[in-house]
Structure 1
Amino acid sequence: MTVSLDRPPLALTGDGALKTPYRPRIVGVGTATSAAVYSQQEVLDAFAITDPKIRSVFANSAIDRRHLTLPEPDADGVRAPEPQGDLLDKHKAMAIEMGAEALRACLKRAGAELSDLRHLCCVSSTGFLTPGLSALMIRELGIDRHCSRSDIVGMGCNAGLNALNVVAGWSAAHPGELAVVLCTEACSAAYAMDGSMRTAVVNSLFGDGAGAIALMSGPGDEASGTTEGPTVLKFASCIIPEAIGAMRYDWDRELDRFSFYLDPQIPYVVGAHAEIVIDRLLGDTGLRRSDIGHWLVHSGGKKVIDAVVVNLGLTRHDLRHTVGVLRDYGNVSSGSFLFSYERLLDEQVTRPGDYGVLMTMGPGSTLETALVQW
């Protein structure tokens, strides 16, 4: 649906609406990955996986390739599992490297410099750091020491929109000042290598990646150097407490390290609640689902995408960017929807007045959504 240029913005007063005279606008986006790329077959070969059931999980994932940083093979060509300490070191190094690249790309698209940054919110679930990643990024890049910061840790794949919600509030309270949400996920630092189906599902899915998104509100946003981004109108959330253990990252005593767990039923649980949260998001706006021109959904996996399509009555074209990101990068956790958003902007198909919905899902089990307008 295209809305005429003289149509006023929505006057939102319901739950989730940003209650402020200034509405934040997205003014930049940037993404980055680790260097090495592996096809699904190459991952199977690297770890000499021969079990036909596990190989079928990789083959039916709808993923062609992923960016991964795997352990180097020894003299016999064996890639040994890395101890937890080494994985934490890997997370720190990769999170900073990918994060710096994504942040710089985001600022460039926004027509801004590091010196313009006033708030940095860092998101990650693939490792734990104290001091947080935001402090490390400020030191690494020489960002102004007075830049305010926040860190969102351990929320999982939905966390990018949790952060956007928080930082949208900060942006609205600080008109004319630039804020960035940086999601950086070193999924290669959160792998467990064994022969179980539990780890096979995880190992077939995730890839390394970082995404950054910049916000500004008020009179200053016209001077940001870009007009391609939409205004953020409102947010809506839905947690499914009865499925709190369906997606988790916890300690595996047998492997003596952290590992992911994904319940096989989670795509259907998420799909069944997608309609609930979207109805809440649109409930006080007068909009119907058919009025939404752009859908940017987390690339959680083939079954997750299929469940969202069915339950929301969408088409494969509606989720073409979600599908394409899954194919080319796998699930890059909290930053996945930013890869899709970047692809949408590169298409140059958005028009003034268009509405878009951002949706992520993850542990909790949780669905997060945002309504935006160009």
Structure 2
Amino acid sequence: MNEVSITTVAKQLPQYSRRTKDILPFVDTWLADMEDRFRRKVVKIFEGAAVDTRYGIMDIEEVFTATSFEAKNAIYVREVKKLGKQVLEKALHQNNWSADSLDYIITVSCTGIMIPSLDAYLINDLGLREDIVRLPVTEMGCAAGVSGLIYANNFLRSNPGKRAAVVAVESPTATFQLNDYSMANMVSAAIFGDGAACVLLSSEKEAKGPKILGAQMYHYKDATHLMGFDLTNHGLKMILDPSVPEAIADSFPKIVHPFLEKHGTSIKQVNHLIFHPGGKKIVQTVEELFGKMGKDIDDTREILRRYGNMSSATVLYVLERFLEKDIKSGEQGLLLSFGPGFSAQRVLLKW
């Protein structure tokens, strides 16, 4: 089998940004008809979310304006095309690859609906080859950035001398529901933001960057209720069960240790943890678990603080930080993310 390298990661942020403290007056206005106690509780959720700033495809006034699902989704489609093109162009430029040298394109998004999917537009906009293999990943939520890497790895391991791009573009703000006063909607509004990322991978012998030693998915039985969206007449309504951190903690040893053992290593030998920041509670849960093993997830926490949870793209922002570091040859990294299904996706890297 061929070795697969992650050669570059690029990110692209939407044009609008806002600090959490500047969102609170809009939250107050939105919840003006609710009981004081409820309003204070929601404000506390925003203040305690460990997110300082988030970016969006819409300005703050537009986010808090009641519009139809059709209108919000039209903005999603328009902006996702822009962000996808920008981030793929940026990654190709950073790697000095021509657009027509790509053999596979995998696009990842779960926060809107578009058919044809984003990859079809990127083929036209950037002049990708007519025989490029495309794979849209649309319903795997926060885990899908790592899912995309797993699919790319599978393609490339079977085919020497090939190149792949994984493009993740998400806009959770396009799914924000003004008429949903559930805790799931409040928590998701407090932690989510928009963003795009692109990872380039290669099975060429001379490819630089960390090698993928192993990649595997893990699916929890009877846990489809924990996370996802309900499609309503108002749009995509968030499902976020409060027991998610507990589910992660309970299954953590069997997610991490057998996977590493299968690839001839252990958590002691893993130097770098590249973990998806699902939210403050999930970060704290995983930090405690890894902390007992003498590891830290500082980069994960920092990405949450700077950008919020951008669904599938977020873990790729964490990965970018590691590709920018001067990491010694032979060191290992573990990519880990969780998403609807309920599932955990894992990739083992070696520099």
TM-score, normalized by the shorter chain, greater than 0.5: yes
2:332 is matched with which residue? 355
CA shift in 2, pair 1:216/1:69, >3 Å: closer
Paired amino acid for 2:19: S
Pick closer, same or farther for the CA change 1:65–1:317 going to 2, 3 Å.
farther
Per-residue deviation, 1:318: 2.3
In structure 2, what is the equivalent of residue 324 of structure 1? Answer: 302
Whether the 8 Å CA contact 1:99–1:182 is kept in 2: the answer is yes
Pick aligned residue for 1:124 from 109, 112, 116 = 109
How big is the alpha-carbon RMSD for the aligned residues of Structure 1 and Structure 2?
2.0
SS in 2 for 1:26: strand
1:236 is aligned to 216
Quote the offset at 1:175 in angstroms. Answer: 1.5
Match of 2:45 in 1: 57
1:146 maps to what in 2? Answer: 131
> What's the secondary structure of 1:154's corresponding residue?
coil
2:153 is aligned to 168
Measured in 1, the distance between the counterparts of 2:103 and 2:184 equals 42
Written as runs of structure 1 = structure 2, the 5 A alignment for 1:152-231 is 152-194=137-179, 195-219=181-205, 222=206, 224=207, 227=208, 229-231=209-211
Equivalent residue of 1:242, what SS? coil
Q: 1:252 to 1:314 in 2, by over 3 A?
A: farther
C-alpha distance after superposition, 1:18-42 (max 9, x if no partner): xx2x111111111111111111122
Number of equivalent positions: 342
Residue of structure 2 in register with 1:9 after alignment: none
Query: What is the SS of the residue equivalent to 2:337?
Result: strand
Quick check: 1:274–1:312 contact (8 Å CA) kept in 2? no
Q: Determine whether 1:300 maps to 2:278.
A: yes
- Alignment-mate amino acid for residue 33 of structure 1: L
Residues in 2 aligned to 1:71 and 1:103: alpha-carbon distance in whole angstroms: 24
| Residue pair 2:8, 2:323 contacting (<8 A) in 1 also | no
Report the counterpart of residue 246 of structure 2 in structure 1.
Answer: 268
Runs of 5+ in structure 2 lacking a partner?
A: 32-38
**Distance change in 2, residues 1:197/1:106 (3 Å):** same
Distance 1:325 1:317, change over 3 A: farther
CA drift at 1:347: 2.8
Q: What's the TM-score, normalizing by structure 2?
A: 0.92
CA contact (8 A) 2:290 2:296 kept: no
Aligned to 1:88: 73
TM-score by length of 1: 0.86
Question: Which deviates more from structure 2 when the two are superposed, residues 193-202 or residues 28-37?
Answer: 193-202
Q: Distance in 2 between matches of 1:337 and 1:178?
A: 21
Secondary structure (helix, strand or coil) at the match of 1:241 reads coil
Q: Which amino acid aligns with 2:172?
A: C
Unpaired segments ≥5 residues, structure 1 = 1-19
Change in CA separation of 1:60 and 1:356 when aligned onto 2, cut-off 3 Å: same
Q: In 2, are the aligned partners of 1:237 and 1:277 still within 8 Å (CA)?
A: no
- Structure 1 residue 246: deviation in Å? 1.1
Tell me the alpha carbon deviations over residues 213-246 of structure 1, each in whole angstroms, 9 at most, x when there is no partner. Answer: 1111142xx1x5xx3x210011222222232111
| Counterpart-to-counterpart distance in 2, 1:261 and 1:373 | 35
Which residue does the alignment assign to 2:230? 250
* Cα separation, partners in 2 of 1:144 and 1:236, compared to 1, 3 Å: closer
Deviations 1:354-373 (A, max 9, x none): 11100010111111101110
For residues 323 and 114 of structure 2, the distance between their equivalents in structure 1, rounded to whole angstroms, comes to 33
* Equivalent position amino acid for 1:369 in 2: R
Q: 1:361 to 1:67 in 2, by over 3 A?
A: same
Structure-to-structure mapping, 1:90-109, within 5 angstroms = 90-109=75-94
Paired residue for 1:37?
A: 17
Q: For the residues of structure 2 that align with 1:183 and 1:351, how far apart are their CA atoms?
A: 28
Q: Distance in 2 between matches of 1:315 and 1:329?
A: 27
Letter in 1 for 2:149: L
Note if contact 1:122-1:134 (Cα within 8 Å) is conserved in structure 2: yes
Seen in structure 2, the aligned counterparts of structure 1 residues 353 and 266 have a Cα distance that, compared at 3 Å, is same
